[in-house]
Structure 1
Amino acid sequence: MVHEVDAPSPYRVFTRAQWAAKRADTPMTLTPDEVTKLKSFTDQLSIDEVEAIYLPISRLLSFYVAAQQKLSRASQTFLGATDVKIPFVIGVAGSVAVGKSTTSRVLQALLSRWSNTPKVDLVTTDGFLFPNAYLEREDLMKKKGFPESYDTKSLLRFLADVKAGKRHVKAPIYSHTVYDVVPGGSITVERPDILIVEGLNVLQTGRPPRDGKAIPYVSDYFDFSVFIDAEEDVLEQWYIERFMRLRETAFRDPQSYFRRYAEKTEFEALKTALGFWYGINLVNLRDNILPTRQRAKLILKKDRNHQIESVSLRRV
């Protein structure tokens, strides 16, 4: 009898307990109140989750950052450019409703407590979406969040400037209330030690050109990347739950783009949410987001209770 041999994996997979042990003696630097403030409106996050999952990640990243800083200093000495500070850039990807924002904020808070990385900035790619007027003109409103709905050239220019150590690098901002880019609004990134870039499609690539021309991808500027993962049916449940909770809260804001959904009956709202999930978000997940999962250096797999059940770390 011929026995099938499992295909070699580029990842080492850890159970929750195995990963929690990697914390070693890393001190807990967040209070329960701080943890509560870091989580998104519909996410679940506990001190236990931070201690078991995120403290070991921060410990691992501290090693990566220290090694990069040492290499950067050596490179600057070689090049004679000793005044340039090169940030360590982390990409965080995953589906709608999977908890990317909470993960990014927790990592930002933990990493800023390390002595060699006191300045940690966070930018979301929502600000690099094309304005609604452009999306409507190009018939892309139903593909908002798909790769083609982003001003990728501007995002690449932003990352190139940050990685070049430039000062006063501006990034546009997005309002989830009005569901659009804020005209003239921006945040300034000022040579951080670490920059976290969070977004649906930050690990996206395209077809390489046959003539070999240089076509940079967003992930080319990442030193480390994280993908937040969960099963499709779980993501659907979380998305629907979030939509229905927002219907009772944020959607009631007179300024909200989704104000009209607050007035719908529960049945109508549920039908609308399912339409958004199956017509837009699930399509984006299957066609654009999920195919990039294996490009991440770290994959965090969540269970139905929002807890990380396994951690996959790409082999160095």
Structure 2
Amino acid sequence: MRGDTGGEPGRVSPYRTFTRETWAGLRADTPLPLEPAEIERLRGLNERLPVSEMVEIYLPLSRLLNLYVHAIQDLFAATQDFLGISDRKVPFVIGIGGSVAVGKSTTARVLQALLARWPNSPQVDLVTTDGFLHPNAVLEERGLMRRKGFPESYDRGALLRFLSQVKSGKSAVQAPVYSHLSYDIIPGGAVTVDRPDILIVEGLNVLQTGDAPPDGKTVPFVSDFFDFAIYVDAETEVIERWYVERFMQLRQTAFMDPEAYFHRHTKLTEEQALATALDLWRGINQVNLEANILPTRQRADLILVKDPDHLVERIELRRL
């Protein structure tokens, strides 16, 4: 079991730990605003997202986040009143991190859908850091194709500029777009973020920091722009199984498109495909998880810990 659950007498933890049952009780009769068909569309490939998961896990989480958003907005209004100014709206930014195949993209989509349905109908935008990966041509030139998703494979400067502009209240800020079909940045593609109430930023290494430079100058990190950070977690061997299962399923779906970057894998035998999936996981994704992603777990404000069936079994919420 990762981390200190804070449940043992005499042990001190920065987190309060909730069982699934205890957490579900914090829903406070919040109604589920989504129909079963809508929930199904939010579900990731090879994942489970039953109505019970929405009601017991994500509704209480959306309620908590809504309270945070209102608190920050009230503080912003109070500061404006104190300064005697009327400033532009600044989005509440939520960061969501975790391993490949752990389900963080589903968590991001679910929270976007739920938060946008609160009575005040906030505008909720979602951006993935995949769009800030260097194009494949750049990665090839630098010998980084097998380190795609590692910190050095991202255009960190572009990502920081994007978040700085969003957090300053600038209108119509554009982010590049990534295609999982072509496994590359879409030339000229962009998604526009126009002063939303809430921005969700989802990606592998969003909670990562780095060593301070020798000159001691301040270095900004992506997480510096977050008002709330979530880490989606599961045991490494469980994530490996999910990754392999998803890869094998993609061979029968998305990879069948002749334009798909991984179309060649559809020509492999089952045994060859399994070996390829394990090589990609153990040689790339597990290395990235253990070296770069998992060490950021304790920087999150809230950790969703999943069981082998893709359901959240425990929630760890940082003490204020």
Normalising by structure 1, what TM-score? 0.97
CA contact (8 A) 1:14 1:311 kept: yes
Is 1:19 matched up with 2:44?
no
**1:303 has 2:307 as partner:** yes
Q: Does 1:285 align with 2:289?
A: yes
What residue is the counterpart of 1:43 in the other structure?
A: 47
Aligned with 2:59 (options 50, 55, 62)? 55
Q: Aligned-pair distance for 1:117?
A: 4.7
Secondary structure of the corresponding residue to residue 233 of structure 1: helix
Structure 1 stretch displaced more, 188-197 or 36-45 = 36-45
Q: Name the counterpart of 2:4.
A: none
> Contact 1:66–1:116 at 8 Å: present in 2 too?
no
Query: Closer, same or farther in 2 for the Cα pair 1:213/1:80, shift >3 Å?
Result: farther
Letter of the 2:133 counterpart: L
Question: Matches of 1:142 and 1:116 in 2, distance apart?
Answer: 45
Of residues 66, 70, 75, the one that matches 2:74 is 70
Q: Which runs of 5+ in 1 are unaligned?
A: none
1:246-270 Cα distance to aligned partner (Å, 9 max, x none): 0111111011000100111000000
Deviations 1:107-140 (A, max 9, x none): 0000001133520000000000000000000000
1:315 to 296, 309, 319: 319
The aligned counterpart of 2:3 is none
| Counterpart in the other structure of 1:170 | 174
* 1:170-218 superposed Cα distances (whole Å, 9 cap, x missing partner): 0000000000000110000000000000000000000123433121000
Amino acid at match of 2:200: I
Answer whether contact 1:117 1:193 (CA < 8 A) is retained: no
C-alpha distance after superposition, 1:122-171 (max 9, x if no partner): 00000000000000000000100000000010000000000000001000
Aligned counterpart, 2:221 = 217
Q: 1:82 Cα deviation (Å)?
A: 1.3
Deviation at 1:79, TM superposition (A): 3.8
- Between the two proteins, the alignment pairs up a number of residues equal to 313
Shift of 1:311: 0.2
Distance 1:69 1:172 in 2: 28
Contact 1:172 1:182 in 2 (8 A): yes
Distance 1:148 1:80, change over 3 A: farther
**Is residue 117–residue 194 contact of structure 1 (8 Å, CA) maintained in 2?**
no
Q: Partners in 1 of 2:275 and 2:33 — Cα distance? A: 43
1:151 is aligned, of 151, 155, 166, to: 155
Aligned residues: percent identity?
62
Q: 1:86 aligns with which of 90, 107, 126?
A: 90
CA distance in 2: counterparts of 1:81 and 1:170, whole angstroms: 27
**Matched residue of 1:74: which SS?**
helix
Deviation at 1:77, TM superposition (A): 2.9
Q: 1:118 aligns with which of 107, 116, 122?
A: 122
